[in-house]
Amino acid sequence: MINLSINNQRVSVQPGTTVLEAAKKLNINIPTLCNHPDLCVAGNCRVCVVEQTGARTLIAACAMPVAEGMDIQTNTLKVRNARKHIVELLLSEHRSDCTKCYKNQKCELQALANEFAFGDTIFLDLVADRPYTIDRSSPSFMKDDSKCIRCQRCVRTCTELQHISAIAVANKGMHQKISSFHDRPMSHVVCTNCGQCVNRCPTGALVEKTYIDQVWDAIYDPDKHVVVQTAPAVRVALGEDLGYDPGERVTGKMVTALRQLGFDSVLDTDFSADLTIMEEGTELLTRLKKVLVDGDKKTRVPMFTSCSPGWIKFIEHKYPELLPNLSTCKSPQQMFGALAKTFFASKKKIDPAKVVSVSVMPCTAKKYEADRPEMRSSGYKDIDYVLTTRELAVMIKQAGIDFRNLEPSHYDSIMGESTGAAVIFGATGGVMEAALRTAYEIVTGREIPFKNLNITPVRGMEGVKEASLKIEGCVDDWKFLEGAELKVAIAHGLVNANKLMRLVSKGKAPYHFIEIMACPGGCIGGGGQPIPTSMEIRKNRMKAIYSEDEHMVLRKSHENPDVIAIYKEFLGKPNSHAAHELLHTHYTERESY
C-alpha cells in the first residue's frame, strides 16, 4: 500500500492508483474533463491539475500515479488560478451558443464554466474569426468542430473500444482538430455510426441527429397514424434522463408517457425480437443441416447475428468476405417496420401510406439502418424516424409529463406482446440466450437444461464469451444433431468483435453461432443511451434487463402469442417466402478505407 496525504488527510491506496482515484476515496472532488472511466488516461485537458509539494509544476491528478509520502493540495490559489485559466481557455475555442445547444445543461464544459469561469472572461474569442464546419452528412450524428475542445475522448473511444478510428487527431498547434480520413464527411468514411463517441463527447461537438420535430409534426398531423416501437434496452435506461438511478425499470411508465405524447399505437420491438429468434433460430438450424447433412459448400457457419446495425456496417467495411456468414435476418427494428406498414396496417384497416413508423432505440446506428435503401420492403420507408433514448426523454420533458407519477400501462396488442427472451436482446449475450432457449426446444422438444432458463455462461461483461451445449434426445426432424456439441461465441464492443472475426477469417473459430453487438455491454451501452456511461452504469442496466426477463410470464420467443398469430395469419412459417420478402435482407460490400 502507498501512503499519501491529500488536503492534509491521509490515505492508503494500492500502487498504480492515480491521485484522482485516491482523492475520490477521500470524497475529495477534483474536476475532470478529458478523463472517462471507459478510456485510457489522456491527461490533456489539464482541468484536474493539483499541487504536489516539492514539484516544479502542477500535476494532472488523472495521470499521476501515487507515490509514497506524496503531499497533494487540490484547492490552493495556484490551482484555482490555473483551473480558471484552463476552463476559460477551453471556452475561448468553444462556440458557446449554449442556450440553443442540444447539450445545454448536459454539457460537461458548461458545468465546469459554471463552477470556475463565470463572469467576464479575459480571453479573446478564438472561434469568431475561424472558419468551421458542421458535418451533417451522417444520418446518425452531427459533428460540429466549433464546439470541439479537443479532449480526444471520441478519438480514444473509436480506437480503443471500437477499433475503427473513423475519427482521429489531425494537424498540430492551432490547426489541430478531430478529423476523418482525408477530412471526408462522416458519411463517406469507415464509420459504423455506433455513436459511442457521441455518448462520450463532453460538449455539443458530437450529438445525434435529432428527429424530434419531425416526430412531433407527424403526431400532430390528424391524417397520420403514428406507430411507435421501443427497443428492449430503452426501458432500463430512459429513467436515468428523467431523474432515476441507473438500473431502474420504467417500462410501464414509458408506455403511458408514449400514449400521452400522442402516439396512436404504442408497440414493442420486443415483439419483433421474438420474431427474430424464430427467423434466425430457424436459419441457424437450416444452415447446420445444409452443412452437416447436405454437405453444401456454399452455406457458411459460423452464422453471425445481424441485430446490431453498427456491427453490420463494421463487417461490411472490414470483413466483406465474411458477409455470407451473416444471418440474413433484418434487425428487430426493421422487421417491425416492414410489418407495421403491411400486416399491422391491414389488421387495423389503415392505409399504409398514412402510417408513420417511429422507433425509440438505444442506438444511433439505427438511424442509419432505417435509411438503408434496402429497408423498404413494405413499399414505403419501413421506419420513418428513429429516436434515441435521450430524444424520447427530451420529448417527455417538452410535453411537461410528470413521469415519476405516471400510472404504468401495457403495450397495445397485435405487435405489443413479448417474452423475456426478447427483452434480454438488450444485453450482450441476450440474443444468444434467447436463440438457444428456442432452438434447443425445437430440436429436442424439451426446455433448455438451465435453472430458470437462465443460461448464465453467455451472460456478463467479459469481452469475448464462449459456451458449448451438448444436444441430446433430438426429435425426428433434427436427428442429425444428436450428440452434437453446439459451440457459440459472443462479443460486444467492436474491438472484441474484431478479435473474433480475425479468428473466423483464419478458419480458427470452432463455433456454429456467434453473437456480436457493436456497443460495450450490448444495446444497454448503446450510443443513444443516456449520458454518462460507465461499466458500473452498464452493469446496473444489465441487471435490470435480466430482472425484467425474470418477471415475465413468457420467457421463450416461440411462446409469444402475437408471434404465433402472425405466422398463422400472415407469414406462414419461419423462413417462408413471405417471411423472406419482409423479414430478411442482404448486405453490401464496402471499402475498408
Nearer to other proteins, 58 or 448 (CB): 58
Name the grid cell of 491.
Answer: 462479443
Shortest CB 58 distance to other proteins, Å: 5
Which of 366, 367, 465, 539 is labelled catalytic? Answer: 366
Nearer to other proteins, 44 or 576 (CB): 44
The Cα 558–Cα 564 span in angstroms is 7
Q: DSSP for 309-354?
A: HHHHHHHHHH-GGGGGGB--BPPHHHHHHHHIIIIIHHHHT--GGG
Shortest CB 147 distance to other proteins, Å: 14
Give yes or no: 283 in active site: yes
Shortest CB 505 distance to other proteins, Å: 24
* Residues 314/164, Cβ–Cβ less than 8 Å: yes
Nearer to other proteins, 89 or 471 (CB): 89
Shortest CB 96 distance to other proteins, Å: 14
Shortest CB 513 distance to other proteins, Å: 38
Give yes or no: 369 in active site: yes
Nearer to other proteins, 72 or 285 (CB): 72
Give yes or no: 308 in active site: no
Q: DSSP for 225-288?
A: EEEEEE-GGGTTTGGGGGTPPTT---HHHHHHHHHHHT-SEEEEHHHHHHHHHHHHHHHHHHHH
The Cα 254–Cα 271 span in angstroms is 17
Shortest CB 104 distance to other proteins, Å: 22
Nearer to other proteins, 44 or 328 (CB): 44
Give yes or no: 363 in active site: no
* Residues 364/309, Cβ–Cβ less than 8 Å: no
Q: DSSP for 342-396?
A: IIIHHHHT--GGGEEEEEEES-SHHHHHHH-TT--TTSS-S--EEEEHHHHHHHH
Burial grade of 289 (CB within 10 A; 0-12, 13-18, 19 or more) = middle
Which of 283, 433, 548, 559 is labelled catalytic? Answer: 283
Nearer to other proteins, 176 or 588 (CB): 176
Q: Three-class SS of residue 166?
A: coil
Which of 180, 327, 357, 418 is labelled catalytic? Answer: 327
Give yes or no: 101 in active site: no
Please give the residue ranges that form the binding site for other proteins (CB under 8 A): 41, 43-47, 49, 57-58, 60, 63-65, 78, 81-82, 85-86, 89-90, 92-93, 122-124, 126, 149-150, 152, 169, 171-176
The Cα 541–Cα 96 span in angstroms is 33
Give yes or no: 307 in active site: yes
How many other CB atoms sit within 10 Å of the CB of residue 136? 14
Give yes or no: 374 in active site: yes
Give yes or no: 589 in active site: no
The catalytic residue positions are 280, 283, 307, 327, 366, 369, 374, 523
